[in-house]
Amino acid sequence: MEKTTRREFIRKAGLMTAAAVIAPEAVLSGRTPGHAGIYGHASGNGTGISKKPELEWRDFTGELKHTFTISGSSRSSTPIVLTKLTWNGVTGYGEASMPPYLGETQASVHEFLKKVREDVLPRFDDPFRIRDIMAETDRLAANNTAAKAAVDIALHDLTGKIMGQPWWKIWGFTPGNTPCTSFTIGFDADDGTVREKTKEASWAKILKVKLGMGEEQDRRMIRLIRSMNPSTPICIDANQGWKDRYMALDMIGWLEEQGVVMIEQPMPAYDLDSHAWLTERSPLPVIADESCQRLNDIRRLHGAFHGINIKLMKCTGMREAREMVTLAEALGMKLMIGCMTETSVAISAAAQLSPEMEWADLDGNILLANDCFDGMKLENGKITLSDMPGIGVKSKGYIPRF
């Protein structure tokens, strides 16, 4: 099986080399691949197999099963842009998910992807040069991390498919080490809704509860959940909602008695002093989310937090996420992987890293009423990794059709 796969890879790599020899002008010319249609469609070369990269994208609205409230905002849908990158006849999928509070929109993602298609991709003749392609993509503009992730994920899906292997295998991770994903219960002022969500989460082996609405409301949420579910471990995400370090420490002490196992971003992202103070005293691990965006943040956070929450939409995708894992592990920091409201495309991409994680919060696709891809599966709440190559996804065949 392994030999066949290797032979297949060598054959495909040979074809790619042949393509570069036969039609170098098509591969290396730097011609922009077709005009930007309404969805950014790039036309093919008429042979059925494109030898140059073609990047397309489609808007998608992720409809949430329940209105989602966190400290600071509330919403019932999330704007998403799905990408499709075809290179040497192989197709990879990617995704940008843009919760409004992070500042990206479908329009800003379109603008960014146009630049990638016109200024970056034509300069490369090999999709395996992910490091260089992503470095050039990163240089196009600051921020735009979800748009960058949409390129990175598609590149990984594409190259994984060429190799015929999923990325968890290429990286050499142990599939049995995947954690159970937590299932998120957003804050709600209505007791009936909290009860309904707690019931819906009864399958989960670990819960994630959004707090940070004030001491009284936070305790009410936990008491209500515990009245229905006395024992499932709970991760808390305060989303920067606690403003006072003494109150935060007091809350953490009380939460530990309630069977809480971890606290995510208790205080404002900029306030590393308070987090360092809290981390020194907290009986539970304190994990950075909003404080930790990218690889370069990690050194600064060492000592202020016990660990970091990596999200592909924050850190520009799988390449940088893999490097964050290495650095955090070298510094002895705990690891968590999280998500936005995402389809199975971005969730399955993140799942490739999950064997290295102590906690995973990869429920974004489950919170959607209209996930348009099949991908990462859960078995009894635990993430299971398939042998499907790349990021391991398959379109369900309905919208958005590429």
> CB-wise, 237 or 342, nearer to Mg ion?
237
Q: Which of residues 367-386 bind Mg ion (CB under 5 A)?
A: none
Q: Which of residues 231-250 bind Mg ion (CB under 5 A)?
A: 237
| From 157, 188, 289, 342, residue interacting with Mg ion (rule: CB under 5 A) | 289
Alpha carbon 326 to its chain centroid, in Å, reads 17
> CB-wise, 152 or 237, nearer to Mg ion?
237
Strand, coil or helix: what is 119? helix
Stretch that binds Mg ion, among 138-146, 230-238, 310-318, 366-374 (CB under 5 A): 230-238
C-alpha distances in angstroms, 197 versus 2, 65, 67, 369?
Answer: 45, 10, 11, 15
In the complex, minimum distance from the CB of residue 186 to Mg ion, in angstroms, rounded to a whole number: 11
In the complex, minimum distance from the CB of residue 209 to Mg ion, in angstroms, rounded to a whole number: 11
Distance CA(119)–CA(132), nearest Å, equals 13
For residues 84-103, b (16+ Cβ closer than 10 Å) or e, as one string?
A: bbbbbebbbbbbbbbbeebe
> CB-wise, 101 or 246, nearer to Mg ion?
101
> CB-wise, 178 or 309, nearer to Mg ion?
309
Q: Which of residues 127-186 bind Mg ion (CB under 5 A)?
A: none
Distance CA(269)–CA(95), nearest Å, equals 26
> CB-wise, 90 or 366, nearer to Mg ion?
366
Cβ neighbours of residue 267 under 8 Å, at least 6 residues apart?
238, 240, 242, 243, 245, 248, 274, 275, 278
> CB-wise, 12 or 243, nearer to Mg ion?
243
Which two tokens mark 112? 């960014």
Number of residues binding to Mg ion, judged by CB under 5 A: 3
> CB-wise, 233 or 400, nearer to Mg ion?
233
Q: What angle, rounded to 10 degrees, do the helices at 145-163 and 318-330 form?
A: 90
In the complex, minimum distance from the CB of residue 208 to Mg ion, in angstroms, rounded to a whole number: 8
Stretch that binds Mg ion, among 14-22, 165-173, 189-197, 261-269 (CB under 5 A): 261-269
Specify whether the CB–CB gap between 315 and 294 falls below 8 A.
yes
Stretch that binds Mg ion, among 12-20, 74-82, 192-200, 289-297 (CB under 5 A): 289-297
* DSSP 8-state class, residue 316: T
Stretch that binds Mg ion, among 40-48, 49-57, 252-260, 287-295 (CB under 5 A): 287-295
> CB-wise, 54 or 237, nearer to Mg ion?
237
* DSSP 8-state class, residue 118: I
Q: Which of residues 34-73 bind Mg ion (CB under 5 A)?
A: none
In the complex, minimum distance from the CB of residue 110 to Mg ion, in angstroms, rounded to a whole number: 27
Cβ neighbours of residue 3 under 8 Å, at least 6 residues apart?
none
Distance CA(167)–CA(164), nearest Å, equals 10
Stretch that binds Mg ion, among 118-126, 135-143, 183-191, 260-268 (CB under 5 A): 260-268
C-alpha distances in angstroms, 156 versus 278, 351, 352?
Answer: 38, 13, 11
Catalogue the E-assigned strands of 39-89: 54-70, 73-87
In the complex, minimum distance from the CB of residue 289 to Mg ion, in angstroms, rounded to a whole number: 4
Q: Which residues bind Mg ion (CB under 5 A)?
A: 237, 264, 289
